[in-house]
């Protein structure tokens, strides 16, 4: 374990050094702003209940209207025109979710499936996928960053659910994931049902963290600012496992030869892009981009680029609209 911890520290230090020279405008989060304190499932209201969000179909988004405008010619008065005038699309995402949005240790650039979703939207607005500013945000800041306008879109392995729909607009679903558990290869556990009383880590503010606390086996939910921090905690024996979406865990297992992913999916996690509710025309535009990319093979090529090691690309999720 000492060797594993030393290797982890070395990799993280190298990544930080390279990131300081990166072309991204987003700085690495500084240590004082990333507390490592454990967290537990939020306490219910005094009467023992938690207010439920309005019932909805979280997969149903706003239907596109008409054909896409030509790049560089966004409709006057639209939010797309505001982005065009600014000269860049601002994408909020993470920097440590391998395959979806992680910082390349050699180039310092943030890349992955989610980042390419953002680049495709930038290309639809500008005709240039590089007219994008990547802003690193915490998992617990994904909704608030879309609400306060500090980013235009959030593409960050984010599950669309009714609670979040209250505050943001979501695109149609662009990826179907499900939650599993990562443990040590020496563990005899076969699923999360075998991990009662064990410390299981997930990112603060994620649905994955909430789901751990709902399990009948009663594992102990431990929060860290990001999943990269969970991996470090796991390698230091501070937690017994990590639980989040299967694709994220696969990326972690690829980084740690002593880890394995166990069990069947015990949740459904439909990923969608989050946007400010004040600009419904932008949500319709984003959905038109996603619709086009499903039809012309762009989605499939993106899957093969980043997730091809999981096997043949499945059909892209079908869009549902309100």
Q: Are residues 156 and 280 in the same domain?
A: yes
- Give the per-residue pLDDT at 52: 66
- Give the per-residue pLDDT at 51: 62
Q: Are residues 78 and 168 in the same domain?
A: yes
- Give the per-residue pLDDT at 276: 98
Asked if 259 and 234 touch (Cβ cutoff 8 Å), the reply is yes
Q: Are residues 83 and 171 in the same domain?
A: yes
> Whole-angstrom Cα distance, residue 116 to residue 290?
12
Residue 138 lies in a domain: yes
Residue numbers in the chain where pLDDT is lower than 50:
1-44
pLDDT in tens, 165-186: 999 999 999 999 999 999 999 9
> Whole-angstrom Cα distance, residue 31 to residue 220?
25
Helices (H), the chain: 2-19, 79-86, 113-126, 142-147, 162-165, 207-214, 227-235, 246-255, 280-295, 298-307
Residue 25 lies in a domain: no
CB within 8 Å of 319: residues ≥ 6 apart:
61, 172, 173, 287, 290, 291, 294
- Give the per-residue pLDDT at 164: 95
Q: Are residues 247 and 131 in the same domain?
A: no
Radius of gyration of the chain (CA): 20
Helical (H) or strand (E) element with 42: none
Which string of DSSP letters, residue by residue, matches 200-240? EEEETT-HHHHHHHH-TT--EEEEESSHHHHHHHHHTTSSS
Q: Are residues 162 and 186 in the same domain?
A: no
Read off the tokens for 139: 């998992």
Neighbours of 321 (CB within 10 A): 14
> How many domains does the structure of the chain reveal?
2
Residue 307 lies in a domain: yes
Asked if 26 and 135 touch (Cβ cutoff 8 Å), the reply is yes
Question: Sign of the CA dihedral 34, 35, 38, 44?
Answer: negative
- Give the per-residue pLDDT at 48: 54
Q: Are residues 263 and 183 in the same domain?
A: yes
202 CB-contact burial (10 Å; exposed 0-12 / middle 13-18 / buried 19+):
buried
| Domain span at 76 | 72-176+270-312
Q: Are residues 159 and 248 in the same domain?
A: no
Question: Domain of 97: which CATH number?
Answer: 3.40.190.10
Q: Are residues 152 and 191 in the same domain?
A: no
pLDDT in tens, 196-221: 999 999 999 888 999 999 999 999 99
pLDDT in tens, 6-21: 344 333 433 333 333 3
Helical (H) or strand (E) element with 317: none
Read off the tokens for 156: 């960050």
Q: Are residues 208 and 144 in the same domain?
A: no
């Amino acid at each position: 374990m000492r060797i594993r911890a030393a290797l982890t520290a070395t990799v993280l230090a190298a990544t930080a050094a390279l990131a300081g020279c990166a072309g991204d405008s987003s700085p690495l989060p500084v240590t004082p702003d990333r507390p490592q304190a454990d967290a537990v499932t939020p306490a219910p209201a005094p009467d023992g209940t938690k207010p439920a969000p309005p019932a909805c179909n979280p997969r149903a988004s706003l239907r596109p209207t008409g054909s896409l405008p030509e790049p560089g010619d966004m409709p006057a008065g639209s939010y797309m025109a505001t982005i065009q005038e600014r000269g860049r699309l601002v994408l909020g995402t993470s920097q440590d979710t391998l395959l979806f949005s992680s910082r390349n240790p050699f180039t310092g650039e943030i890349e992955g499936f989610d980042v390419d979703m953002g680049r495709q939207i930038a290309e639809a607005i500008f005709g240039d996928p590089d007219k994008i500013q990547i802003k690193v945000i915490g998992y617990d800041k994904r909704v608030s960053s879309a609400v306060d306008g500090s980013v235009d879109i959030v593409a960050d392995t984010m599950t669309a659910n009714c609670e979040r729909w209250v505050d943001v607009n979501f695109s149609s679903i662009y990826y179907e994931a499900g939650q599993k558990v990562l443990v040590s290869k020496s563990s005899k556990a076969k699923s999360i049902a075998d991990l009662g009383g064990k410390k299981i880590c997930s990112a603060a503010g994620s649905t994955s963290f909430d789901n751990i606390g709902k399990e009948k086996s009663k594992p102990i939910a431990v929060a860290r600012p990001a999943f990269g921090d969970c991996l470090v905690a796991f390698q230091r024996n501070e937690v017994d496992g990590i639980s989040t979406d299967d694709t994220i865990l696969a990326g972690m297992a690829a980084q740690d030869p002593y880890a394995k992913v166990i069990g069947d999916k015990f949740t459904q996690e439909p990923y969608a892009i989050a946007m400010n509710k004040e600009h419904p025309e932008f949500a319709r535009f984003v959905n038109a981009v996603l619709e086009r990319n499903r039809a012309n093979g762009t989605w499939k090529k993106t899957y093969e680029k980043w997730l091809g090691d999981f096997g043949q690309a499945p059909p892209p999720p079908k869009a549902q609209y309100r």
